[in-house]
Amino acid sequence: MKYLTNYNVIFTIVERGKGETIIKAAHEAGAEGATLFFGRGTGVHEHKKILGIPIEPEKEIVITLIEKEKTDAILEAIVRAGKLDEPGHGRAFVLNVEKMAGAVHLE
């Protein structure tokens, strides 16, 4: 079986409603697609209350699988679009994909 090995994945975590902005920026920078799903924050600043009722902060998580040589350009586009260089706007991180299967159209 042949596995693809020249890929990274960018995980981006932003406030609910901002994920589509991240996907658009990544696509314009060269990403071919992304996966968006919902999550809940549990960080130190995530314990806000209104009238004594705890608020569960909703997040969007965008997973973008990319070719390694496109990583810097796409990450920079994501940071700009999501204003991730400003406090409280989210975060993004890159992981190396050691092996990937199931992307037959890329082989």
In a domain, 71, yes or no: yes
Q: Residue 44: give the domain boundaries.
A: 7-106
For the chain, the residue count is 107
Q: What is the mean pLDDT of each run of 10 residues along the chain (107 residues)?
A: 88 96 98 92 61 72 96 98 95 94 64
pLDDT for res 34: 95
- Which of these, 91, 64, 63, 97, lies nearest to 79 by C-alpha position? 91
CA dihedral 88, 41, 64, 33 (to 10 degrees): -100
In a domain, 42, yes or no: yes
In a domain, 58, yes or no: yes
pLDDT for res 20: 97
Percent helix, strand and coil across the chain, each to the nearest 5: 25, 35, 40
In a domain, 27, yes or no: yes
CATH of residue 96: 3.30.70.120
In a domain, 2, yes or no: no
pTM for the whole thing? 0.83
Total domains in the fold of the chain: 1
In a domain, 1, yes or no: no
